A and B are shown apart, each in its own frame.
Chain A
Amino acid sequence: MPAPDDNLLDVENLRVSFGTERGVAKVLDGVNLTIRRGEIMGLVGESGCGKTTLARAILGILPSNAQHEAGSIRFGGEDLLKMPHHRVDDQIRGRRITFIPQDPFASFNPLFRIGSQAREVMKWKSPRRPENAGRGLFGFFSRYPRARRKADEADAVEMMRTVQIPRADEAFDKLPHEFSGGQRQRLMIALALMPQPDLVIADEPTTALDVTIQAQILKLLKRLVKERGVSVLFTTHDLGTAYEICDRITVMYAGQEVEMAPVGDFFQRPSHPYTVRLLESLPKPGRELREIGGEIPGLIDPPAGCRFHPRCTHATDICRMERPATTSVSAAHALRCYHPVGATVLP
């Protein structure tokens, strides 16, 4: 059934913790996130802020020591956390929500040819696959009708051409290590788009690449998803990359989302003290570098209230006690701060 509004994905008050040797790490602390149909949402934050955990929670592939404590992940109107596992496996993951990994070098199995890895994805996830197709024992002994396979393969070659793999028809017979990092990331984009998904989760897809390759890949990804109207959740720690590709940006700090704004607003009128300081720490000619000071807190015993308060020059008692609710700077610009910088908060 279609969603009532134009939000494709609606994460609400998501709490996830990890059991570790030293204690329980509260990795996501009531996170909210929305993605509209056809938009690229940037999820920006430094390492350990929880952006990868959030991405994996949406995909439903958190490690076994992770625990959902509260919240919902509504996708197309349905809560993925309440959906039966086999339905998520069969109809959502890899089919309507696909994935582009951070490290294209390590994300292909080095021992299998590109063709067999691509065929595996299409066998289970191509749009031609009937919804009620079974999976057989452990996934073995499941039929892949010849006609569908041929059609899927033709699509795959076409998609590899689209992502500009040189000699796309030969790519199937090659091993992953025969491709450069940039080409492997192009292949990953092709694999992510082949099932014709509604949402692609791209987890730092350009971090491992050189600048010129990064520019090529960002350009390609942006063009393809815009042409197809696919939504993207794009996590990155690099504000420059976020500026390049995103329509809206959500900033996370230590497991909490702190600010969400359209890309123009975000860079022109940052309002959360953390966002402001983050932008100031970018090297820019003619400006003195400003450090944030202090270090990112541990998540096993995080600061109460707003987790940024120990490093925040604006912090007051209320910040140390209770996490601020979501307020709006403007219609599209949301914020979770008691003391926003240079802006009047609308109720």
Chain B
Amino acid sequence: MRILALILQRIAWLVPTLAGLVAVVFFISRVIPADPVSKLAGETASRAQIELLRQKLGLDRPLLVQLADYYRQLLSGDLGTSLFTTRPVWDDLYARLPATIELTIVAMIIAVVIGIPLGVVSALYRNTIIDHLLRIITVAGLAVASFWLALVLQLYFAMDLGWLPLQARITGFPPPSITGFYIVDTLMEGNFTRFRNVVAHLTLPAFTLAFPALATVVRFTRAGVLETLQKNFVVYQRAMGIPSGLIVWKYVLRNSLISTVTQIGLLFGILLAGAVVIETVFQWPGIGAYAFEAILQSDYAAVMGFTVYAGAVFGIVNLVVDIGHAILDPRGAGA
């Protein structure tokens, strides 16, 4: 009941937020540039060609009408046609979605599975060597440019040592498309050679992508655990002689995770942002690389489609986070 109300509330906010997002990008792109059409048409286009294109794109009409048109288009599930691939943007995004999701989820798992225990350890051993070491690592994780880290790792592990493949998702033919996630598909197919190949290809991009998120998880978990350790219920359980390992890893951790979980939305933002550049570096055929291509080609519809799509994904992730939060914290939002 409470969770249902929460979902409805979030969805009710998601729609106007997305509409606002579209409007923002729309106006910035149509109002600020001197003449988007001549840019689109290219430098060699004649005046008549430009006018023709303008009419064809409907750009000669009032801005609000254009915006309303765009909304109508979006509502019917049409993100426009990519100028570059000449296919509907939606189809392009849909085809590339599994690659990005696979990469992002693996990165997220790495960040959470390694980050949370490290954060707890860092808090428990506050101001010791371990804590200082982890602090250096997390500060570095948040300071390093992910595309540069990607290049350095490629240079060392792929080019120099030759341990891992340089780029792409797989060598040779992809597995039969069942879910679109290669890890799952190769396992379902039972082809372990191909599975190992897929995992090897995933390793570098996933770790690169996970690194800043990992740093964030460690920091939030550390802060959360430190705060929870001060709480009276910890004093109480200690006073009642409950084993301290249990107090920390069962009771304290759950309380600190509540604040960490609310940050997972933020993490996802970090990952999605990272995906744009990291997919480019690793030639990963996901939507991040697609967005980059679109930028290079001045593919307006594709960039716009990617933005709307990113907003929607981000909104859904935050919805999932809220539900997770509601499950972890049974008291409800008001308490």
Interface residues of A, Cβ cutoff 8 Å to B: 56, 59, 61, 88-90, 92-95, 98-99, 101-103, 106-112, 120-121, 124-125, 135, 137-140, 175, 177, 191, 201
Contact = CB atoms under 8 A, between A and B. Distances in A.
B243 A139 contact: yes
A109 B235 CA distance: 11
Given A99-B239, A107-B235, A121-B240, 14 more contacts: A59-B239, A61-B235, A99-B236, A101-B236, A106-B232, A110-B329, A111-B254, A111-B328, A111-B329, A120-B242, A120-B246, A138-B245, A139-B242, A139-B243
A125 B239 CA distance: 12
A140 B232 contact: no
Contact of B249 (A107, A138, A175): A138
Interface string B220-261: 000000000001110111111111111111110011001000
Given A59-B239, A93-B240, A95-B241, A107 B232 contact: yes
A55 B155 CA distance: 61
Contacts of A102: 232
The 6 closest A-B pairs by CB, nearest first: A138-B245, A94-B241, A139-B243, A139-B246, A93-B241, A99-B239
A106 B255 CA distance: 13
A99 B240 contact: yes
A298 B249 CA distance: 37
Contacts of B236: 99, 101, 107-108
Given A101-B236, A111-B328, A112-B251, A94 B245 contact: no
Interface in B177-196: none
Given A101-B236, A177-B331, A125 B241 contact: yes
B239 A177 contact: no
A139 B251 contact: no
B226 to A, nearest CB: 13
A153 B331 CA distance: 24
B335 interface: yes
B249 A111 contact: no
9 contacts: A59-B239, A94-B241, A107-B233, A109-B254, A109-B255, A111-B328, A111-B331, A138-B248, A177-B331
Contact of B231 (A106, A112, A121): A106
B62 interface: no
Contact of A111 (B240, B242, B246, B330): B330
Contacts of B231: 106
Contacts of B240: 93-94, 98-99, 121, 125, 191
B179 to A, nearest CB: 34
A25 to B, nearest CB: 19
Interface in B123-142: none
B235 A140 contact: no
B255 A61 contact: no
A96 to B, nearest CB: 10
Contacts of A107: 232-233, 235-236
Contacts of B250: 139-140
B255 A111 contact: yes
A177 B335 contact: yes
Nearest to A56: B239
A131 to B, nearest CB: 14
B207 to A, nearest CB: 29
B261 to A, nearest CB: 12
Contact of A89 (B232, B241, B249): B241
B281 to A, nearest CB: 41
Contacts of B251: 109, 112
Contacts of A89: 241, 243
Given A106-B233, A111-B254, A175 B330 contact: yes
Nearest to B228: A109
A252 to B, nearest CB: 20
A34 to B, nearest CB: 21
A125 B237 CA distance: 12
A140 B245 contact: yes
A99 B243 CA distance: 15
A274 B237 CA distance: 35
B243 A138 contact: yes
A291 to B, nearest CB: 32
Contacts of B238: 61
Contact of A140 (B244, B246, B255): B246
A88 B96 CA distance: 60
A138 B335 CA distance: 31
Nearest to B243: A139
Given A109-B255, A175-B330, A177-B335, A101 B235 contact: yes
Contacts of B243: 89, 124, 135, 138-139
B1 to A, nearest CB: 16
A69 to B, nearest CB: 22
